[in-house]
Amino acid sequence: MKNGKETESLVLLDCPVEGVARITLNRPDARNALNNALRQALKKTFTLLQEDDSVRTVVLRGSQNCFAAGADLKEVSQMGPLAVSQLSVLEFWKTIAGFHKPVIAAVAGPALGGGCELAQHADIIIAGRSARFGQPEVNVGIMPGGGATQRLVRALGYWRAMHLILTGESIGAEEAAAIGLASEVVDDDQLDAYAIDRARQIASRPPIAIRRIKEVTLAGADAALATGLQLERRAFEQLFDTADQKEGMRAFIERREPRFIGR
């Protein structure tokens, strides 16, 4: 992927370091509210990166002061059920949920409603100290529609998730990290560099193993424990048929840095 590539004006795409793609939401005047055009641009971008073997990890960020403030209410406020269903929002979320490479969300400022759900689709959430997370849909007469009623309960437990969803209140970065809604918290001026460094670290790992880790973890979350353990063991065994496994163990024995090639 060429550095500085721009797929859509609403989504900026670049490659700050080898193996890492960075997606930037670019609707600053609307606080990166998720309208249909932005969702389609994101879907197109994730589909492109899915097929790009040079990309091993993705960083997803908003603008400097706002990750994403939710759905664009001006677009949907007067719609009926049929019109809302024709927005194909579920297909948008499926594209991101099915993305097989690691995604790091770098969150500064509000991540509310659909913006909070977008962050929840990442594998790691790094929060700047200005970050705020919440599901305020109930405040405008609706409920989450991008997965929060399911993902938050799995991530936080029933009572913490329901507190956020039923009250519509938002929480800051430190509280989000304490309850498990953020992986770690850093100063805002360090957020971009820190997220890229984390992404670079993951991109340096064997990509087949990284993909299997994500696949098994997500599949096992919706399965019985015995099924998840079986999935894990089979994936573990299959990795012994990869060149990266041979290289990684040989490098460990020889006390040198491994050179993973993705085979």
Which active-site residues does the annotation give? Answer: 71, 114, 117, 137
Coil, strand or helix at 238: helix
The three-point CA angle 245-246-248 to 5° equals 65
Contacts (Cβ under 8 Å, ≥6 apart) of 191: 61, 106, 108, 126, 128
Encoded amino acid at 154, one letter: R
DSSP letters spanning 165-220: HHH--EEEHHHHHHHTS-SEEE-HHHHHHHHHHHHHHHHTS-HHHHHHHHHHHHHH
Q: For 74, how many CA atoms within 13 A lie in the half-sphere containing its CB?
A: 6
Distance CA(26)–CA(69), nearest Å, equals 12
Distance CA(24)–CA(183), nearest Å, equals 20
The two structure tokens encoding residue 224: 């019985």
Encoded amino acid at 124, one letter: I
Place of tokens 């929002």: 89
Contacts (Cβ under 8 Å, ≥6 apart) of 196: 16, 17, 20, 22, 59
* Contact by Cβ (8 Å): 131, 67: yes
Report in angstroms the alpha-carbon separations of 4 from 28, 34, 197, 201. 19, 23, 18, 21
